[in-house]
Structure 1
Amino acid sequence: MSKTALEAFIRGLHARPMIASVKEAKHIEIALAYREKLGGVFLLTGHIGVVRNYVELYKSHRLPVFLHLEKIGGLSTDYYGLDYLAKTVKPDGIVTTKTNVVKTAKKMGLIAIQRFFLVDTEGLDNIANSLSNAEPDIVEVMPARIPEALRRVQALTPLPVVAGGLLFDRDQALECFGNGATAVSSSKPELWRHTFK
């Protein structure tokens, strides 16, 4: 993925900061119905036999799609699996918790979003260490409902920060934006219909 593609995706997030985290096949079409309000899709369902069709569907509607690699059945995150992903499946990028996968995905031209789970202050230290080693394009922080932690992560990096997890209503998403999040990701279709900008 070129630097221009990353910049275009980030511009899109500023205009439409909601990302649909699609965890169930029945939500694939729902996300498409809200595509004018979404900045992208994180795909967390499917397997190697169907994921290419899902990616092509979203891309045909100009909706950026990212595969959460640990959630796609039958897809290896080694060099060969990522090579197949980049050349055959062709998502815009990936979401992963693994530093080594971020590095490999970026070499293959994919936008790399690194997901971090914050459960204590050690989690913040891990983010700082990983950012210097992996150099992802975007950071996702979970859960989203820790405003002070969002501010601290934003202070660690100039990268866009996506807040995800445990979002139940529009006001909670707005709180994330007020605390430095560039975008939010949610698996709740009822949140996908909202306009935030």
Structure 2
Amino acid sequence: MRIIENEFYDRIRENPVIAAVNNLKKLEKAIKSPCEIIFLLTGDIFNLQELVNHVKASGKSVFVHLDLIEGFSRNVCALKYINEIIVPNGIITTKSSLIRTAKEMGLFSIQRLFMLDALSLQSGINSIKTIRPDAVEILPGIMPRVTKTISTEVNIPIITGGLISDKEDVIASIKAGAVGISTSKEEIWYM
């Protein structure tokens, strides 16, 4: 197992709540929170290096959502730059081709999937089985039955995110098989 995988699993076991930062004003609060992992859902080509370094200096792990960082194209060249120059703990993306390439680079990769209907559920399961990301984030995260279906179909850690609003949502996700939940709701960071 790669070192970064061990680090991810250790941190998610320590605290299954992941601080999803979608506004830079929340970054300091996320860093000061008990969350061990931060999903960076904002930033741009000019500040990404500084943001990643700041989070890592705080002792937390940071995963960059490639699809949401402004100024980078969603291609292999940008991924290579982020891996070699920015050096996050890992990446998040909806793009299967980037997951595959990230894994080849040795970069921890989380595939984000949106569950809209039965077709997207089956398509997502097939994609997970084919691509084999290091972890999967499914949205919205308030669907324990879908979480349970995916977690029993694939042997890959599941993270739920989106529309998580209270402790009951967190507990339901964990009981359904998720190893963690990502949320931008600060009050949940302190659960």
Task: After TM superposition, list the pairs within 5 Å mapping 1:78-157 onto structure 2.
Answer: 78-157=75-154
Query: What is aligned with 1:66?
Result: 63
Distance across 2 between alignment mates of 1:79 and 1:117: 23
Q: CA deviation at 1:170?
A: 1.4
Letter in 2 for 1:125: Q
Give secondary structure in 2 for the equivalent of 1:38.
coil
The answer on whether the counterparts of 1:141 and 1:161 sit within 8 Å (CA) in structure 2 is yes
Query: What is aligned with 1:175?
Result: 172
**Gapped runs of 5+ residues in structure 1?**
none
The answer on whether the counterparts of 1:143 and 1:166 sit within 8 Å (CA) in structure 2 is yes
The answer on whether the counterparts of 1:117 and 1:123 sit within 8 Å (CA) in structure 2 is yes
The percentage of counterpart residues that share the same residue type is 33
Q: 1:188 aligns with which of 145, 168, 185?
A: 185
Coordinate RMSD, CA, aligned? 1.1
Distance across 2 between alignment mates of 1:189 and 1:106: 31
TM-score by length of 2: 0.96
Query: What is aligned with 1:38?
Result: 35
Letter in 2 for 1:129: N
After the TM superposition, which of the residue ranges 128-137 and 62-71 deviates more from structure 2? 128-137
- After superposition, give the CA deviation of every residue in 1:123-166 in whole Å (9 maximum; x if it has no partner): 22112221132110001111111111110010111111001000
The answer on whether the counterparts of 1:99 and 1:133 sit within 8 Å (CA) in structure 2 is no
**Gapped runs of 5+ residues in structure 2?**
none
